[in-house]
Structure formats: structure tokens, C-alpha cells
Amino acid sequence: MNKKKVFNIVVILIGLFFVIKKFYKSAEYSNVKRINEIYYSGEYNKAKSELELHLLKYPKSSESWAYLGLINIELNDTIGAEKAYLKGLELDSKNDKAIIGLGVIQRMKGNYEKARNYYEKAIKLNPKNPDSYSSLLVLEIKNKNYQKAVELGEKAKELKLTDTRPGILGNLVVAYHLNNQSEERDNVLAELEKMDYEDIEYIKMIISGMVDINDFI
């Protein structure tokens, strides 16, 4: 077999590999999109079951493991969430979503410095992920550094992804309130009302002083 013919076969095989890979990724994305719709409908148990089936087919999907971590947090399964995030990070050491998730787990455990380290690492890896800044905002609120919390919330808001993660705006409303910026608070609160944010009543209860902020963050 001459070199030219060998080269042509190699090119065909490489081309076939990328076609198969593209199809694989397309099928994976389509399935995750379907699960995402279930998740946003609030059917967390169903979303988890579907995602676990998905992971049987795509066990090396770091993003999907991180997604399972998020769903487990919604289901108050912090042990399962931590395992899923660690698996996602094992598969991809630069998965900022998994790193943020591990930070959330540490915050829930009360390990605030460990949580901060995770969030700051995530920002270094991906400075365009608003969840990193919003998560740090929560730590600053707990530390009563309200001005810093506002700065982080505004940074997250600038990234223009709050339409899919309105909780970021919810955190910013609380930061504005605690920093005595009532006009800014009310403007963002109005944005949340237009978005039909599901936790807006809790935000209003915090603003009115009916509940302690630490009950929700």
C-alpha cells in the first residue's frame, strides 16, 4: 500500500471520528436540554432520574455530573451533590460549575474560607460565570461586608445571564437592601417581579424584616 493511499485512509478515518463525535455530542446535548426542561418545571426527582440514565450512557460527561450535583442540592442531598461535583471535577479539572458547586457545599457546612477558595478558583478559570460572583456575594453578606456584596452582585448582573438565573438578582436585591441602597433595591426588585421570580415573596419578607436573612442564605 503506497503512502498516498495510507494518508487518504487516515484522513477518512479522522473525518469519520469527528462526524461520530459531533453526532455523539449533539445527541448528548439534545438529551440534556430535555432534562433541563424537566428541571425548570420543578420536577427535580424526575430530572434526577433522567439525568442518572443519561450518565449511564455518557459517564465521562463532566458537565452532566456537575448538573447532577445541582439537582441533588435542590433535593437537599448534600452528600450526593458533593460526590457528583467531585466526579465532574475528576473528569475535568477546569469545570468551574463543579468548583462553584463544591464551594456551595462548603458554605452549607459552614466552612466559609474553603467555600471562598473554591469560588475564587472558579473566577480565575472562568471570569464570565456570574454564579461565582453571586456565590461570593453570599459570603460577604454573612461577613456583613455589604458594599463588597453589592459590587459582586453588580459584576454578576453585568454578565447578562440573569434571565436564566434570577437568583443572582435576588441576591443583589438583598445586598442593596443591607447596604441601604433602597432605590437600586427597588429597581432590581421590579425586574424580578416582571420575571415572575418564584422566591420573590421571601425576598420581600427579608426586606420587611419579617425573617432573618440567615434563614435563606
Does one domain contain both 86 and 133?
no
pLDDT of residue 197: 85
74 and 132 share a domain?
Answer: no
**Across the chain, where does the E strand assignment appear?**
none
Q: Are residues 76 and 137 in the same domain?
A: no
Residue 76 shares a structural domain with residue 146: no
Q: Give the tens place of pLDDT for each residue, 125-154.
A: 999 988 899 899 989 998 899 999 999 999
- What would the DSSP string read from start to end of 92-127? -TT-HHHHHHHHHHHHHHT-HHHHHHHHHHHHHH-T
Query: Distance between CA atoms of 24 and 43, rounded to whole angstroms?
Result: 26
Total domains, the chain? 2
Same domain, 23 and 79: yes
What count of Cα atoms within 13 Å lies in the side-chain half-sphere of residue 185?
17
C-beta separation of 197 from 181 below 8 A: no
Could you tell me if residue 121 is inside a domain?
no
Length of the chain equals: 217
> How would you class 170 by CB atoms within 10 Å of its CB: exposed for 0-12, middle for 13-18, buried for 19 or more?
buried
16 shares its domain with 69: yes
Which of residues 92, 110, 136 is at a domain's end? 92
Q: Is residue 122 domain-resident? A: no
**Residue 109 is assigned to a structural domain of this protein:** no
Q: pTM (2 decimals)?
A: 0.79
79 plus 136 within the same structural domain: no
In angstroms, how far is CA 111 from the centroid of its own chain?
Answer: 19
Q: Is the pLDDT of residue 162 over 80?
A: no
Asked if residue 142 and residue 85 are part of one domain, the reply reads no
- Asked if residue 108 is part of any domain, the answer here is no
CB 188 within 8 A of CB 175: no
Q: Supply the range of the domain harboring residue 208.
A: 128-217
Set of cell numbers at residue 123: 473566577
* 9 and 88, same domain (yes or no): yes
Q: Of 92, 112, 147, which residue constitutes the final position of a domain?
A: 92
| End residue of a domain, out of 68, 92, 116 | 92
Instruction: Say if 120 falls within a structural domain.
Output: no
**Which of 4-18, 49-63, 100-114, 132-146 is predicted least confidently?**
4-18
How does the average pLDDT of the chain come out, rounded? 85
pLDDT at 24: 55
pLDDT exceeds cutoff 60 at 4: no
Which CATH number goes with the domain that contains 77? 1.25.40.10
